[in-house]
């Protein structure tokens, strides 16, 4: 199954995969041996090969989250060898290639672990807690009607860049998975910063940050201790500076908003 590159030799690997029937069941790591894996494959393609093997053996295939497989949708997850989205920085699991591993390696694959992300089955987690944080205030209210002219509202380039950087968050939840405290502050801060930086988002900025932080706490996420593992593991490179901005926005809103 080696790919087109004549130098790439197929690999044999030992996988330790978390298997769990449903959210109530207790799971455990199962060991599977997998042969002839091309280094050109993505990690998820390797998982597909594993599942084909398991099906042939009459074993229930491993459930894992995936969708676009292009690194943009934020659906894939997996805690691979002790790291969210695997050992390579700045990539999602679907963009992680098997060439990053060596023949004979043992790879431990676990789901995101956090109370607010219950395991649905095997490696699939329910990350809708992040959706509910977003719904609590991660939007702007606009009137319908005629389409406004482009660039009608001037925005300094540096601000637009910062907002865009924050907006690249794909809501995969790696920040929560990597955080020792299971905190969702990098996610929440990216959403709050993105909107608070732009004129259209400033209208609701105080209520937004208050509601989103309240929802974040209500979902049971931990509190940030500025360790920085979230930003280090983030596949799209959301900066820790956003958390400072979230704190700033929240402190300001707490003392100056009209919500008593």
- Which positions touch another protein (CB under 8 A)? 16, 18, 29, 79, 81-83, 87, 108, 110, 113-116, 178, 180-183, 185, 213-214, 216-217, 220-229, 232-233, 240-241, 243-252, 254-255, 259-260
Q: Rounded to the nearest whole angstrom, what is the least distance from the CB of residue 221 to another protein in the complex?
A: 7
Q: Rounded to the nearest whole angstrom, what is the least distance from the CB of residue 150 to another protein in the complex?
A: 30
Distance, in Å, from the CA atom of 232 to the CA atom of 225, rounded to the nearest integer, reads 14
Kindly tell me which of 50 and 112 has the beta carbon lying closer to another protein: 112
Q: Rounded to the nearest whole angstrom, what is the least distance from the CB of residue 260 to another protein in the complex?
A: 5
Kindly tell me which of 12 and 226 has the beta carbon lying closer to another protein: 226
In the chain, count of helices (H) and strands (E)?
Answer: 9, 7
Distance, in Å, from the CA atom of 86 to the CA atom of 2, rounded to the nearest integer, reads 22
Let me know the angle formed at the C-alpha of 206 by 205 and 212, rounded to the nearest 5 degrees: 85
Kindly tell me which of 57 and 255 has the beta carbon lying closer to another protein: 255
Q: Rounded to the nearest whole angstrom, what is the least distance from the CB of residue 245 to another protein in the complex?
A: 7
The CA radius of gyration of the chain, in Å to the nearest whole number, is 21
Distance, in Å, from the CA atom of 56 to the CA atom of 87, rounded to the nearest integer, reads 30
Instruction: Give the helix/strand (H/E) hosting 84.
Output: strand 83-84
Q: Rounded to the nearest whole angstrom, what is the least distance from the CB of residue 189 to another protein in the complex?
A: 10
Give the tokens for residue 254.
């707490």
Kindly tell me which of 38 and 162 has the beta carbon lying closer to another protein: 162
């Amino acid at each position: 199954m080696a790919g087109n590159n004549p130098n790439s030799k197929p690999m044999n690997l030992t996988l330790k995969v978390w298997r769990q029937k449903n959210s109530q069941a207790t799971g455990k790591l199962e060991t599977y041996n997998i042969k002839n894996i091309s280094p050109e494959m993505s990690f998820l393609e390797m998982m597909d090969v594993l599942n084909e093997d398991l099906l042939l053996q009459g074993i229930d295939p491993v459930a894992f989250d995936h969708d676009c497989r292009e690194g943009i949708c934020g659906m894939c997850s997996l805690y691979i060898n002790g790291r969210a989205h695997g050992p390579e920085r700045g990539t999602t699991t679907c963009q992680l290639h098997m060439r990053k591993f060596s023949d004979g390696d043992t790879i431990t694959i676990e789901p995101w672990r956090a109370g607010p992300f219950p395991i649905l089955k095997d490696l699939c987690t329910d990350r809708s807690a992040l959706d509910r944080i977003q719904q609590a205030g991660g939007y702007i209210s606009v009137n319908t009607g005629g389409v406004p002219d482009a660039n009608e509202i001037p925005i300094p380039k540096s601000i637009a860049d910062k907002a865009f950087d924050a907006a690249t968050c794909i809501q995969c939840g790696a920040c929560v998975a990597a955080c020792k405290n299971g905190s969702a502050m990098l996610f929440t801060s990216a959403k709050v910063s993105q909107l608070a930086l732009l004129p259209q988002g400033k209208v609701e900025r105080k209520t937004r940050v208050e509601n989103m932080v309240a929802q974040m706490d209500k979902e049971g996420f931990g509190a940030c201790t500025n360790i920085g593992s979230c930003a280090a593991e983030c596949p799209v490179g959301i900066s820790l500076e956003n958390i400072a901005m979230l704190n700033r926005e929240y402190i300001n809103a707490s003392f100056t908003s009209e919500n008593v």
